[in-house]
Amino acid sequence: MRKKYFLSTFLIALLAITLSACGQNKNQSIYQTVKETKSITWGVKADTPLFGSMSIKDGKVRGFEIDLAEALTHKILGKQAKANFVTTTANTKIQLLKNRNVDAVIAAMTITPERKKQVEFSKPYFPAGQSIMVAKNSKINNVKDLNNKRVLIVKGTTSADAVRKFAPKAEILQFDDYGQAFAALKADQGDAFVTDNGILAGILRDNSGYKIAGGTFTNQPYGIAVNKGQNEMMEHINLALTQLEKDGTYNRLVEKWFGNIPGFNVKEIEKY
């Protein structure tokens, strides 16, 4: 009897040691994990100027969402806490959350009913809508003009559905990331490049010879995402967002990243 008792105690202790050696318990809530590790690992964009893009000089990601993620990390866990960044593409965000490779995603991610079935979204933190980028001499003026034209988009984004809805006769060509889609526009492989207005504004800032045709033709704001069921983490994110809005940090970051960008009305974003 006694021997049996010792044996089971030993086994339980062994299990506990193994679990803690493995780092985190996979069933532990994300909020518990980030609290213990005093860090949040964010999925961010690396190919999206202004929001998140990687510098080829030092390999660091920079952008509005990187700064916002850092500010949120400090609000949620305190000044000493660390924000880590893992880069995502439009296509990989949800899988990274499901696999626990990241704790949260802040990556130009539009809140959609489809995605809401798989992840929890924060309140919207940035307004966005589909826009059209064309060469300066293009005759395309609005979304209807995309019918019977070749339209370039990035895989896994909301753009394909938007183009199909508003210009059902457009031919859609899909690329893995923004660099490739824009390179295809430059190489005349398509007549227009469609994605969120803010992302196009970032590309336009760094490239001449192109323009935005017409206004935005959808209203698709961005939300921060965590895996389905991680409600405690989401509550902390929403609370921290509200605090950053109230203490002026949010507006400061909007000014920093979008203040001098043509086509942006910073006041509109700040009201958001």
Binding site for ligand GLU (CB under 6 A): 45, 48, 90, 107-110, 128, 157-158, 196
CB of 154 to ligand GLU, least distance (A): 6
Nearest to 222 by CA among 272, 171, 185: 272
Strand partners, 61: 54
CA distance 119 to 102: 13
CB of 17 to ligand GLU, least distance (A): 41
Phi-psi region of 21 (alpha: psi -120 to 50; beta: other; left: phi over 0): alpha
CA distance 78 to 99: 26
CB of 180 to ligand GLU, least distance (A): 13
Closer residue to ligand GLU (CB): 33 or 89: 89
CB of 92 to ligand GLU, least distance (A): 9
* Strand 130-135 versus strand 192-196 pairing type: antiparallel
Closer residue to ligand GLU (CB): 33 or 130: 130
CB of 102 to ligand GLU, least distance (A): 14
Closer residue to ligand GLU (CB): 90 or 241: 90
The DSSP element (H or E) to which 175 belongs, if any, is: strand 171-175
Alpha-helical regions (H) of 40-189:
64-77, 93-98, 113-116, 159-166, 178-186
CB of 107 to ligand GLU, least distance (A): 6
Closer residue to ligand GLU (CB): 76 or 181: 181
Q: Distance between alpha carbon 132 and the CA centroid of its chain, in Å?
A: 20
The dihedrals phi and psi of 141, each to the nearest 5 degrees, come to -115, -20
Closer residue to ligand GLU (CB): 31 or 126: 126
Closer residue to ligand GLU (CB): 30 or 50: 50
